[in-house]
Structure 1
Amino acid sequence: MVDINRTLKENVLAKWDSGKVLIVIGPRQVGKTTLIRSLCEAEGNYLFVNGDDSEDRLLLENAGENKLRTIIGDCTTVFFDEAQRIKNIGMVLKIIHDQIKGVRLIVSGSSVLEIANEINEPLTGRKWEFNLFPLTWLELQNHFGYLTHKKNLQRYMIYGMYPEVITHPVESEAVLKQIAGSYLYKDLLQYQGIRKPEVLDKLLLALALQLGSEVNYNELSRTVGVDRASVENYIALLEKAFVVFRLQPLSRNVRNELNTSRKVYFYDNGIRNAIIGNFKSLEFRQDTGALWENFVVAERVKKLNYERWHGRYYFWRTYQQQEIDWVEETDGAFSAFEFKWNINKANAKFSKTFLDNYLPQTTLVITPNTIEDFLM
């Protein structure tokens, strides 16, 4: 596989010798194993435990300190891959951390839900957590160089930025169809809250078709055939599996602001397009504006996460259809951004109501010509 340097690598290395358990969480197929194994191999003496391997899981079942010492041997680093599949992984990690000194612990997982359930209490005060996402704009610019990277923009909008899609471009559609199937959320299907897997498929399709629009939970419940509470629960689970994420409205009691609606975005355009079965070029599509918005929003979320940014982000809209695509708040100060695929709309005006009430420090229209201003 082509080696693409990941931004998260430096973040993890900064905590490498912290003495705490390092946990890297993200969707399947984004390169968690590749990244962590490269770090472990640089150290040399490490043990790899595969949570997807039934034999590895069986060896660790009911393992106490003595058995764990035997399993670890003289290894100085232990990497538990897809740790959510390992029974009582939280207690296993706690025993190693507390009783077997001099062993570095690295954990990967593809489900926030199960990892959190298993390790939060046993590892209180003993862990650092990181998220790994599909490849980012900066990572690919560093890899390809500026000119090639910019030429790839339309391809990114259609096929997304999963590592295997980037490194095997001829097989992009097949790769995405595989990932976008149940493989992407297979951990959720094993979770007790998912009693109707077909509802997930219907819900994902409905969300994919409403890309960039405000989501009406009541309407979704009618579409997929379950009650509103179930719809909200399933979307929350899809968030924990890193398939989608929600954007809240900004509402500070300005007259006529929307304050109950939500937007739902996909972490990767390719996954979204695989769900609806449409990989047509942009010139033959009706959803180019929505694809552009989803792409830029997802890239910004990845960038801010890697930077450990401490602010909050929203969209803003009024009942009179005044709207700001993306608003960031840091220490009470606001910045506002509009996303326009058509570069001729780069001078779009921002709502006077918003400007007067929120006094943003920055207002930018992000087009393909100015994307670096937002993502670098």
Structure 2
Amino acid sequence: MEFSEEIPMKGGDGIHGYANNSSLQREAIDVAKKLVNEAIAEKLDIGALVSSKTFCIADLGCSVGPNTFIAVENIIEAVKLKYQSQSPASKIPEFQVFFNDHASNDFNFLFTSLSKDREYYVVGLPGSFHCRIFPEASLHIVHASSSIHWLSRVPKEVMNKNSPAWNGGRIHYTNSADEVIRAYKAQYDEDTDRFLQARAHEVVFGGLMLLIFSSIPNGTLHSQPLENIFFHLLGSCLMDMAKKGIICEEKVDSFNIPYYVPTPEEFEAAVERNGCFSIERKENARGVFVSKNLPNAHIFASHLRAGMEGRLKQHFGGDIIDELFNLYHKKVEEMVPFMLESGKRMDLFVLLKRKADISPLVP
């Protein structure tokens, strides 16, 4: 089975919804606020960019809030300050914000959560950010946080029993054979190339992309990122349930998670292949750490459930969800000493600027 792109985070305001279980993603946005402010202050050229009365911002992979609202408001605040410093006599333009996610994202909840005091106009834009979703040269700033490490689909090879990359008994490339890792890496390269090619058409010359995504230091083992450890634990829970006859083992064999944690080098290589953007800044927003202050097991379990429940329900049905995450919670508690010793996490902040002298290839 290949996962559809149409499986977003869990919507609504329920106890297991993403809106109430995304504090770790919120931390990445909060920590990167200073970097966003500096990027816009130093690299956004108001005179070269704005020829109309509207300044357009897109948040890709917005989910259901509230994180997307915080990120957008941080950007707007920084742009206003830039106008005041670079062009104090100019009127600050009106802001148009595009909230993008899968078509099946809970946009109704997103819209009802909007502040009535917001200082921008809103458009909800359904569709995959791995392809074109905006008109030519229509965006001044693109933001994406905790989203572009999700792949467009599970690599085909890992779902094929006749392939050397068959990933039976596992749900992710963590601790898998080299062939599986290469298949995930190839899918990541393909998706990142498509992502950058699409944005090269959509971002105006001189426009900025502010990207925050999970990364691992060059040379780090794929078994070390905290996200990969969590996926490995989830897979072991599913296999335990299969051994008890609660679910079919073949169902586990045909379930894989389309998520890849790249190194900075891998992302830089994609930017170089594309050629339409310059890397103006690249920084470890929270650094590489072996956390001594990990959130408790309940937070990790609830966050993973908010992100994975839709995929799990589609594949296994909804009856197993509570039991699965109770088991997962227990395993995370048992693994905390290991994670304190070996687990690593890095939120990479990358500032890209659209080059004015290079046109993208026809998509």
TM-score scaled by structure 2?
0.27
**Which gives a bigger RCO, structure 1 or 2 (Cα 8 Å, sep 6+)?**
2
Larger radius of gyration: 1
TM-score scaled by structure 1?
0.26
